[in-house]
Amino acid sequence: MKELLTKNIGLKIVSIIAAVIIWAVVVNVSNPEIKASKAVQVDVLNDAVILNAGKTYEFISSRSVTVNYSVRTRDAYKISASDFRAYVDMNDLYEVTGSVPIVVEVVNNKDLILDASPKPSVLRVKVEDVIKLTKNIEYELEGEPQDGYTVGSVDVNPSSVTVSGPASLVGQIKAVKIVIDVTGINGDITGVTEPLFVDSIGRTLDIAEDGLQTNHSTVSYRVNTLIGKTVPVQYNVSGKTADGYSFAGVTADINQVAIRGSKAALAEINSIVVPASELNLKGTNSNKTVEIDLSAYVPDGLEIVGNSVAKVTLLVEGQEVKHYTISSLQIAVAGGYTGCQYEVEPASIDVALAGLRSDLETLDPHTILGSINVSDIVEEGTYSREVQFTLPAGYALKGYSPVTVKMTGTPPEEELDFYNRTLPETDEDEMTAGTHHGGPGVAGKSGEDDETGEDSESEGQAAETESNAEAAEEATETETEKTTEKVSEKATESIN
């Protein structure tokens, strides 16, 4: 193989050189046509037909077009992009497809250039309405002033800015703001800065790049610095809502204020307290809004910087009812007798509470506690009884399933004697077992004696009876509290 390539090497080299020379002579003599192309920028004609109609346009595709053409080989080097002119006429815009044809003209070397044509042959155009948007200029402070100083009022000029451009781009603007650095300042400052245009997710838009126009490119500001401090505002509420409604909280557009004054006066104030008399819920069944001038609650020698009138809304919501199942172990038995056994039935009790939905959803049923007074049960049997429930704040009892107490055992005589001495005297006919199942019950003194004109006890006996009844009631309440605490602990241990 090597011998084949190197054999007569000189002759082969001469043959290659001769072939090149012959090709060059043929080409130079025949001067054939070749295909070539140039990139040309597209001009826009008659766009006033769109702009004068209150609209704007944007090219979706590139405005650079490739111009294909033919040229003789010996003339190819003479052709440049400047020999062509490409343009679109907006009068020819086809709105249905949003396209406009590209026209190519040969402006130089017309005798050398053949068959010039653009690729692509059309440009895609997006036409939109032009809208204007005016936004107030907000300010954002960065950093903190020097200790002992606070930022008072901030003056911005102009106070608003107007942006115009395509609706799809202008609609992205949600806020216009300037950022002012107040780090370490101890006096008034002024400055000039560019406004920032922000979209709904906090991104800063480049309006110049997007082709938007604004009537103000810069904004001047002045920051007034004060000797003072910022204190919170405390809103107190009084009164009760209408039946079936609950108080859900307070919202206000001012939750803290800047105050200024002497150092001595500033040292004496840590908050501004609005009294409950200003915010009364009495009979309210819907949200209630009140305007309060906070300056009325600032001590002499101090003043509020800026707006001092707060809009305070008392939130009122309709109550909902939810049922909870609690254990009978959460019901305390109070006033029981020594040696007697008491069992609350059934084991599970349904309790209906009213309150705000959010509170009802988070309430732990184990915190619902109740108590039953059994001091009037003196014989074995099963008795229906009312339960006195202890509820967390914000809840109202709407009802509960029937509860009974089963007593076994015999109370000691001495305890019964004490109990009988503390009761008002009643006729035997007034003793009833209306709430008793399985044994006689004891009822309190009825009011029928007065209605039928029967003889009553003397005033001295009545006073003594009332005193004894109050002593018994006080003793029972004390025992109820102690028993409730014990039952709560017992229920918790059982649940755990």
Question: Which pLDDT tens digit goes with each residue over 288-299?
Answer: 999 999 999 999
- pLDDT (0 to 100) of residue 352: 95
| Mean pLDDT of the residues in the chain | 81
- pLDDT (0 to 100) of residue 406: 94
pLDDT classification of 2: cutoffs 50, 70, 90: low
- pLDDT (0 to 100) of residue 180: 96
Most confident of 32-36, 61-65, 82-86, 352-356: 82-86
- pLDDT (0 to 100) of residue 20: 79
- The whole-model pTM stands at 0.39
pLDDT classification of 423: cutoffs 50, 70, 90: low
Token pair, residue 58, equals 């944007």
Backbone torsions φ then ψ of 224, nearest 5 degrees: -90, 120
- pLDDT (0 to 100) of residue 243: 85
- For the domain spanning 320-447+458-495, the CATH number is 2.170.120.30
pLDDT at 483 over 60: no
| The CATH number, out of the four listed (3.40.50.10490, 3.40.50.720, 2.170.120.40, 2.60.120.1440), of the domain defined by the range 131-227 | 2.170.120.40
The three state secondary structure string of the chain is: CHHHHHCCHHHHHHHHHHHHHHHHHHHHHHCCEEEEEEEEEEEEECCHHHHCCCEEEEECCCCEEEEEEEEEHHHHHHCCHHHEEEEEEHHHCECCCCEEEEEEEECCCCCCEEEEEEECCEEEEEEEEEEEEEEEEEEEEECCCCCCEEEEEEEEECCEEEEEEEHHHHCCCCEEEEEEECCCCCCCEEEEECCEEECCCCCEECCCCCCCEECCCCEEEEEEEEEEEEEEEEECCECCCCCCEEEEEEEECCCEEEEEECHHHHHCCCCEEECHHHCECCCCCCCEEEEEEHHHHCCCCEEEECCCEEEEEEEEEECEEEEEEEEHHHEEEECCCCCCEEEEECCEEEEEEEECHHHHHHCCHHHCEEEEECCCCCCCEEEECCCEEECCCCCEEEEECCCEEEEECCCCHHHHHHHHHHCCCCCHHHCCCCCEECCCCCCCCCCHHHHHCCCCCCHHHHHHHHHHHHHHHHHHHHHHHHHHHHHHHHHHHHHC
pLDDT at 444 over 80: no
Q: Do domains 31-120 and 320-447+458-495 have the same CATH topology?
A: yes
Mean pLDDT of 326-350: 93
Least trusted range by pLDDT, from 8-17, 108-117, 340-349: 8-17
- pLDDT (0 to 100) of residue 167: 87
Distances (CA, A) of 339 to 280, 379, 384, 415, 481: 52, 12, 21, 11, 20
How many angstroms separate the CA atoms of 364 and 345, rounded?
A: 22
pLDDT at 384 over 90: yes
| 206-259: pLDDT as tens digits | 888 777 889 999 999 999 877 788 899 999 999 988 888 888 889 999 999 988
Mean pLDDT of 280-285: 91
pLDDT at 88 over 50: yes
CB 441 within 8 A of CB 376: yes
**248-254 contact pairs (CB < 8 A, 24+):** 248/315, 248/316, 248/317, 248/356, 249/315, 250/279, 250/312, 250/313, 250/314, 250/315, 251/312, 251/313, 251/315, 252/310, 252/311, 252/312, 252/313, 253/310, 253/311, 254/294, 254/307, 254/308, 254/310, 254/311
- pLDDT (0 to 100) of residue 471: 46
CB 60 within 8 A of CB 88: no
pLDDT classification of 61: cutoffs 50, 70, 90: confident
Least trusted range by pLDDT, from 13-17, 99-103, 167-171, 376-380: 13-17
In this structure, whether the domain defined by 31-120 belongs to CATH 2.170.120 is answered with yes
C-beta neighbour count of 342 within 10 angstroms: 18
pLDDT at 421 over 70: no
- pLDDT (0 to 100) of residue 177: 95
Q: Which CATH class is domain 236-318?
A: mainly beta
Least trusted range by pLDDT, from 142-156, 378-392, 429-443: 429-443
Token pair, residue 373, equals 């007074």
- pLDDT (0 to 100) of residue 263: 72
Can you give the residue ranges of every domain in the chain?
Answer: 31-120, 131-227, 236-318, 320-447+458-495
How many angstroms separate the CA atoms of 359 and 324, rounded?
A: 13
